[in-house]
Amino acid sequence: MRRDFLIKKITFLLFLVSLVSMGQHHGDAHAQHDTHKTEESDSSLKVEIKEFINHHLQDSHDFGLFSYEDDHGKEHHVGFSLPVILFDSETGLNVFSSSKFHHGATVAENNGSHYKLYHGKIYKTDAQGTITYDDHHHAVNAKPIDFSITKNVVFIFVVGVLMFLIFTRMAKNYKTSVLPKGFGRLLEPIILYVRDDIAIPNIGHKKYKNYMSYLLTVFFFVWIVNLLGLTPVGINVTNNIAVTLSLALITYLLTTFTANKNYWGHIFWMPGVPTPMKILLIPIELLGTIIKPFSLMIRLYANITAGHIVLMSIIGMMFIFKNWIGSPLSFGLAFALSLLELLVAALQAYIFTMLSALYFGSAVEEHGDH
């Protein structure tokens, strides 16, 4: 009875927070272990949970929904494989299906080159799949440039298509009626909020229109991606430094290339300070232009990653506690944290958009009064 209850709850939570269900089987089997074995398996469980969280946070070359072990201890993966695109200095372009890797178990062969998936990265190897390590247990094999359509790329694409469909549909509605219809009723206030409370106060009435497309897209993109990251199929896109770097870089480039004389004047020849200070301020101000988007990148990445790590750790605690107090507590905590993450999802989208608007605003500011 007690175990049934636990299993039911775990199953529900697995569904709720996108934990791939390796542990359920494990927890089930674990309960049957003898008491003297418990301590040992507890530590292995902890390691497993830790690895699992790491795995969850990483990108992958195949679209795995979940995996499980059958009664014979054989691992099954449910999902589909994705195309791998590699640029190799020797053989050039290589395109093949990620199913060739068998989730890292086998060596993939294409055009006479051999590749092996190791810790989520593709390494060039020989037919046997030998991986050589350095002193710190890091693989030293050659890495081809990897342009694979990974799980995250697919997800970004899906989100893009979703956004395109939602917003073009909304735009079409305006052709027939002055007021928004359906989903647009929900979205219009948000769009107006981005315009009236983010873009206009920070950039100003004259120039804000040039940045609206980017601000709106980045706001909804980050928000939707964060929200979908919390769903059971959730794939975290914004906890990849590459994604946040890309977004921050676009903000940086837009700021730099739309900046007016006033902006550059403040960087290279700060008005109102003595000449030696002006010279001193040049490198500081220049560095500042880079630090601003850098902070954007780190903030989004760190917030989402931290949220997921904490959430998954709390869920993982459920498998460690396995008693009447610990598990409900974990459940309650996980539930509360999920709600918090919903807020964080929107908040991070808002902050990213807000700060981008602020930087654009400083780039197009007309008069130099501080």
Partner 1 sequence: MEKLIEQFSLGLFFWQSVLFVALVLLLKKFAWKPILEAVNEREEGIKNALESAEEAKKEMQSLNADNERILKEARAERDTLLKEARELKDKIIADAKEDAQEQATGIIDAAKAAIEVEKQAAIADLKTQVAHLSIDIAEKVVKQELSAKKDQLELVDKMLGDVTLN
Q: List contacts with partner 1 (CB under 8 A).
A: 58-59, 85, 145-150, 152-153, 156-157, 160, 163-164, 167-168, 170-172, 174-175, 178-179, 188, 191-192, 195, 209, 212-214, 216-217, 221, 237, 240-243, 245-247, 249-250
Smallest separation, CB 86 to partner 1 (Å):
9
180 vs 328, beta carbon nearer partner 1: 180
40 vs 196, beta carbon nearer partner 1: 196
Phi, psi of 150 (to 5 degrees): -90, 180
Smallest separation, CB 83 to partner 1 (Å):
11
From residue 2, alpha-carbon distances to 170, 172, 323 in Å are 50, 55, 9
Contact by Cβ (8 Å): 83, 98: yes
163 vs 340, beta carbon nearer partner 1: 163
Contact by Cβ (8 Å): 87, 93: yes
CB atoms under 10 Å from CB of 74, counted, come to: 8
Smallest separation, CB 148 to partner 1 (Å):
6
253 vs 277, beta carbon nearer partner 1: 253
Smallest separation, CB 68 to partner 1 (Å):
27
237 vs 296, beta carbon nearer partner 1: 237
Smallest separation, CB 113 to partner 1 (Å):
17
Contact by Cβ (8 Å): 297, 359: no
105 vs 145, beta carbon nearer partner 1: 145
First-to-last C-alpha distance (Å) of the chain: 69
C-alpha span between 14 and 61 (Å, rounded): 22
Smallest separation, CB 104 to partner 1 (Å):
16
From residue 65, alpha-carbon distances to 121, 232, 305 in Å are 19, 9, 20
Smallest separation, CB 157 to partner 1 (Å):
6
Contact by Cβ (8 Å): 267, 282: yes
C-alpha span between 143 and 121 (Å, rounded): 8
Contact by Cβ (8 Å): 108, 126: no
215 vs 312, beta carbon nearer partner 1: 215
Which three-class secondary structure state does DSSP give residue 251?
helix
156 vs 345, beta carbon nearer partner 1: 156
* Token representation of residue 83: 């195309």
Name which of 301, 293, 300, 295 is nearest 362 in CA terms.
293
245 vs 355, beta carbon nearer partner 1: 245
C-alpha span between 171 and 180 (Å, rounded): 9
Smallest separation, CB 328 to partner 1 (Å):
34
Smallest separation, CB 30 to partner 1 (Å):
30
Q: Locate all alpha helices (DSSP H) within the chain, ordered by sequence.
A: 2-17, 23-31, 35-57, 151-176, 184-193, 200-203, 208-229, 241-258, 261-268, 275-321, 326-364
C-alpha span between 41 and 33 (Å, rounded): 9
Smallest separation, CB 320 to partner 1 (Å):
25
170 vs 314, beta carbon nearer partner 1: 170
